Amino acid sequence: MKKSRLEAFSDGVLAIIITIMVLELRVPHQATLAALWPLWPTILSYILSFIFIGIYWNNHHHLWQVVERLNGAVLWANLHLLFWLSLVPFVTAWMGENHFASAPVALYGVVLLGSGCAYYILVRALLASHARDSLLARALGNDIKGRVSIWIYLLAIAVAFAWPWLAGLLYCTVAVIWLVPDRRIERVLAPSAQ
Interface ranges with a second copy (CB under 8 A) = 1-2, 5-9, 11-20, 22-25, 27-28, 31-33, 35-36, 47, 50, 54, 57-58, 61, 64-65, 68-69, 71-72, 75-76, 79, 82-83, 86-87, 89-90, 93-94, 97-98, 101-104, 106-107, 179-181, 186, 193-194
Nearer to a second copy, 79 or 127 (CB): 79
Nearer to a second copy, 170 or 175 (CB): 175
Residue 57 to residue 147: CA distance in whole angstroms = 19
Task: Find all residues with CB under 8 Å of 73, minimum gap 6, and list them.
Answer: 125, 128, 129
CB of 185 to a second copy, least distance (A): 10
Nearer to a second copy, 93 or 140 (CB): 93
CB of 50 to a second copy, least distance (A): 6
Nearer to a second copy, 22 or 131 (CB): 22
Length of the chain: 194
Residue 138 to residue 130: CA distance in whole angstroms = 11
CB of 152 to a second copy, least distance (A): 21
Q: Of 117, 52, 116, 123, whose CA–CA distance to 88 is shortest?
A: 52
Nearer to a second copy, 2 or 124 (CB): 2
129 touches 69 (CB < 8 A): yes
Nearer to a second copy, 61 or 138 (CB): 61
CB of 54 to a second copy, least distance (A): 5
Could you give the angle at the alpha carbon of 187 between the alpha carbons of 10 and 125, nearest 5°? Answer: 40
CB of 132 to a second copy, least distance (A): 19
Q: What radius of gyration do the chain's Cα atoms show?
A: 18
CB of 139 to a second copy, least distance (A): 14
55 touches 175 (CB < 8 A): yes
Cα 34 to the center of its chain, rounded Å: 33
